[in-house]
Structure 1
């Protein structure tokens, strides 16, 4: 197994390197560390910054406890950050990319997206965004399931990577009772509305069970939370309530200009929640 950890030498990236080290030790993986040097400057400056980056990477490998006894490969490449990370991931045949939480840049993010969002949108690799301080190996995980192929693939990929091997996994699924608002507007009694919602919850539960069975995941997840509401609100409230160490979710492939637009549940989650988040792209 190959793990690629990307760093810009910030505190955010320091956490990502530590987490990548813990994961590599747990999974017996090889670990590559990459720093991308901005190539939009004179070649002599690119060369100087590349040598300096290589020096800092070597120092961190020697000094960081989580990287001790691991097979680590430091790499400094020139280019745009997201493109450099993806090129390096291809070179080392990475099974997982680990990155620190993004730094928001206001309007630039709105129109272009952060580096990690661009890596997730355009690359074929699972990406782990590290938000939390690294104190111990992961113990609990929450997987968002929307009855789509990408959500099933996210769980399967997490299992293949070995991330869920020792974790207590909870599944969360959102359902939305479409007729609830109409019933309330029509003056239907609260008891009858509650009965309708309970029926919709039962139907959603059965749909989830059928979906898991169809995807060979019937034994996955120690508990299942079927919650009423929009997907992001349900995921957010469940994360706050359960405080998992890791949130797992699939992303839906988009092409063309749609890749530049915001609004997907995954993007809302990445921008709003402070938990560590593993995003898995659809199978290509």
Structure 2
């Protein structure tokens, strides 16, 4: 396995470097640290910053505890941050890109997206966003399942990357009883509405069971929870209740201005939840 850890030398990206080192050590993976130098400046300054970045990366490889004694290499590229990271990931044939959570910039983030969101949105690589302190290997994981191939691919990718599986992996599925609101406004009794919701939960349970069975995910010992609500609300509540070490989620292939303005469940998760998140793109 090959891991690429991107760093801008901030505290946030330092966590990503440490997590990448821990994962590389546990999986005997090849590790590359990359820093992107802004090339929209005089050539002499680009060269100076490149030399300085190489020096700092070399120092980190020797000083960071999780990297000490681990075969690692430094890579400095010039360009826009998200494009430079994607080019570095492609050149190293990375199986995983590890990045720190980036500071949000309000309107700019809404219209363009943070660097990590742009890497996830435009690249073919699984991206691990590290939010928490790095103390030990991941012990527990949570994965939303929305009855799509994307969610199956995310779970399988997480397992292949060495994230917790079996009994340490919990699955969560959201269902929405669409007629519930109409029944309420129509003045139907609470018992009637509760009966309808119970029937919808049973239907969702049967659909999920059949889906997991068809995709070979029913025999790994993981726990499964089915909750009423919109996807983000259900995912957020499950994270708050179970406090997993890492959340595994697939991304859907929407592009263009619709995605930029409306976002997606994955982007809302990335922007709102304070948990390490593995975002896995669909198979292309």
Q: When the two structures are superposed, what TM-score results if normalisation uses the length of structure 2?
A: 0.97
- Quick check: 1:34–1:75 contact (8 Å CA) kept in 2? yes
Aligned to 1:132: 132
Quick one: structure 1 residues 257 and 101, their matched pair in 2 at CA, closer, same or farther if it must change by over 3 Å? same
- Deviation at residue 258 of structure 1 after TM alignment: 4.0
Q: Deviations over 1:104-139 (max 9, x none)?
A: 112211111100000000000000000001111111
Q: Whole-Å Cα distance in 2 between the matches of residues 53 and 27 of structure 1?
A: 27
Q: Whole-Å Cα distance in 2 between the matches of residues 81 and 214 of structure 1?
A: 40
Aligned to 1:242: 242
> Could you list the runs of 4 or more consecutive aligned residues of structure 1 that deviate by over 4 angstroms after TM superposition?
none
Aligned to 2:83: 83
Aligned to 1:114: 114
Q: Deviations over 1:62-118 (max 9, x none)?
A: 111101221111111100000000000000000000000011112211111100000
| 1:223 and 2:260 are equivalent in the alignment | no
Equivalences for 1:60-71 in 2 at 5 Å?
60-71=60-71
Q: When the two structures are superposed, what TM-score results if normalisation uses the length of structure 1?
A: 0.97
Quick one: structure 1 residues 177 and 106, their matched pair in 2 at CA, closer, same or farther if it must change by over 3 Å? same
Aligned to 1:48: 48
- Deviation at residue 221 of structure 1 after TM alignment: 5.0
Query: How many pairs are equivalent?
Result: 284
Pairwise CA RMSD: 1.3
Q: Whole-Å Cα distance in 1 between the matches of residues 195 and 86 of structure 2?
A: 50
Decide which moves more: 212-221 or 168-177.
212-221
Q: Deviations over 1:156-208 (max 9, x none)?
A: 11112222357700000000001111111122111221111111111111111
| 1:39 and 2:23 are equivalent in the alignment | no
Decide which moves more: 113-122 or 183-192.
183-192
Q: Which runs of 5+ in 1 are unaligned?
A: none
Any idea what SS the aligned residue of 2:227 has?
A: strand
Q: Deviations over 1:199-236 (max 9, x none)?
A: 11111111111111111111235211100000000000
Q: Whole-Å Cα distance in 2 between the matches of residues 34 and 166 of structure 1?
A: 33
- Deviation at residue 255 of structure 1 after TM alignment: 3.2
Decide which moves more: 10-19 or 103-112.
103-112
